[in-house]
């Protein structure tokens, strides 16, 4: 029997997580099958994913009705149903988390703070603590966007002992600041004599959106050969930063106390350009100690025709040249990645608001 291509990625020390959650997936046993057959080792969610799940099925009606009768606000109703899904998914992934070889290496399920808090440090910290307490599972990660306002929230949450998935990263400067916030949070915690061997974090670097924004500019400037190259080049450079930061003497002191590096996670990995391979952002970035979170259709495509091989550290010179050429063409990558972050917040606020409106309608219809 041919080895499952998705499962084979794990041989190269990369973990595949699923970028999807809904009740149907859990009720039907599909999620368990993905764990057993494809070797899926974690799950991520976001407001857009929950909006599809809740608006697209009647599975949530009873919960919405009950919470509405208790007089809960629309926000509280959303988090009520989301927390119950996340708890259940965390239980399904618990055997992965409790893996004999390395407890806590994987098996994480991510729940995001409200996208409306993306620019509110205190609000983010308060909600991260609230959600962490409400889910109350060691294998949950609270998602905090890696915005300017998110950085101190990330540091404080880590210092508080909360597992964090840092989301919406597009630029290398910001990624390095996030790794710094993680280390500073661990140091703060270690200085208080608190354990740091049970804290995990990932930094989610978004890919396809970079190319969607930059490719038309490259085409316009007659640099069509660079189309579809910038996101992967950026990810490879991010991996260089990861290796440098987490092999430093500063981090070694924390490692001696049991700390683990914050892994890079590749997000937004579905190809949005039909001219590209549908597994483009999976193939190019397989490498050790990383995570790739895949939408279901990308995972199924990879199962069908992926070619697993460690490629993350290949052609590093080419990655350097790609980014140098982008700069020579007068394209300001820092300005563009900042724009992507702003747009990214908006892309989460819109479905979140749509979700709250849908809950409001359902509430009225049900109650």
Give Cβ neighbours of residue 334 (< 8 Å, ≥ 6 apart): 171, 173
Instruction: Tell me if residue 327 is catalytic.
Output: no
Average the pLDDT over 178-201 and give the result. Answer: 98
Q: What is the pLDDT of residues 94-130, one digit of tens each?
A: 999 998 777 788 999 999 999 999 999 999 999 999 9
DSSP type of residue 285: T
Per-residue model confidence as pLDDT tens digits over 235-291: 999 999 999 999 999 999 999 999 999 999 999 999 999 999 999 999 999 999 999
Query: What mean pLDDT is predicted for residues 346-358?
Result: 93
From the list 214, 227, 112, the residue with the least C-alpha distance to 168 is 112
- Which domains does the chain possess? 5-366 (3.20.20.70)
The whole-angstrom separation of Cα 340 and Cα 104 is: 32
The pLDDT of residue 358: 86
pLDDT of residue 1: 58
DSSP sequence for 192-223: TT---TT--EEEEEE-HHHHHHHHHHHHHTT-
Mean pLDDT in residue range 33-45: 97
- Mean per-residue pLDDT for 290-319? 97
| List 8, 143, 236, 280, catalytic entry | 143
Is 104:139 a contact under the CB 8 Å cutoff? yes
What global pTM score does this model have?
A: 0.96
What is the average pLDDT score of the chain?
A: 96
Length of the chain: 367
């Amino acid at each position: 029997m041919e080895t499952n291509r998705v499962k084979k990625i794990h041989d190269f020390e990369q973990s595949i997580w699923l970028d999807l959650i809904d009740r149907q997936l859990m009720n039907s046993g599909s999620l368990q099958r993905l764990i057993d057959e494809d070797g899926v080792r974690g799950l991520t969610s976001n407001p857009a994913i929950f909006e599809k799940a809740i608006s697209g099925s009647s599975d949530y009606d009873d919960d919405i009705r009950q919470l509405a009768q208790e007089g809960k606000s629309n926000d509280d109703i959303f988090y009520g149903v989301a927390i119950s899904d996340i708890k259940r998914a965390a239980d399904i992934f618990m055997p992965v988390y409790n893996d004999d070889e390395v407890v806590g290496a994987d098996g994480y399920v991510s729940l995001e703070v409200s996208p409306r808090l993306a620019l509110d440090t205190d609000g983010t910290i308060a909600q991260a603590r609230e959600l962490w307490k409400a889910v109350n599972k060691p294998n949950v990660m609270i998602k905090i966007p890696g915005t300017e306002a998110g950085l101190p929230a990330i540091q404080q949450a880590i210092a508080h002992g909360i597992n964090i998935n840092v989301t919406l990263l597009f630029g290398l400067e910001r990624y390095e600041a996030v790794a710094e916030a993680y280390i500073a949070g661990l140091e703060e915690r270690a200085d208080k004599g608190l354990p740091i061997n049970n804290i995990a974090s990932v930094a989610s670097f978004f890919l396809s959106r970079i190319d969607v924004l930059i490719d038309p500019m490259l085409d316009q400037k007659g640099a069509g050969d660079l189309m579809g190259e910038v996101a992967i080049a950026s990810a490879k450079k991010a991996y260089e930063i990861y290796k440098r930061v987490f092999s430093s003497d500063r981090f070694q002191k924390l490692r001696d106390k049991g700390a683990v590096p914050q892994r890079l996670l590749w997000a937004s990995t579905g190809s949005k350009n039909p001219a590209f391979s549908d597994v483009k952002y999976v193939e190019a970035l397989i490498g050790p100690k990383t995570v790739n979170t895949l939408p279901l259709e990308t995972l199924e495509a990879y199962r069908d025709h992926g070619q697993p091989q460690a490629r993350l550290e290949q052609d590093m010179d080419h990655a350097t040249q790609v980014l140098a050429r982008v700069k020579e063409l007068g394209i300001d990558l820092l300005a563009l990645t900042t724009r992507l972050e702003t747009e990214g917040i908006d892309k989460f606020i819109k479905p979140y608001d749509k979700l709250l409106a849908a809950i409001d309608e359902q509430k009225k219809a049900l109650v």
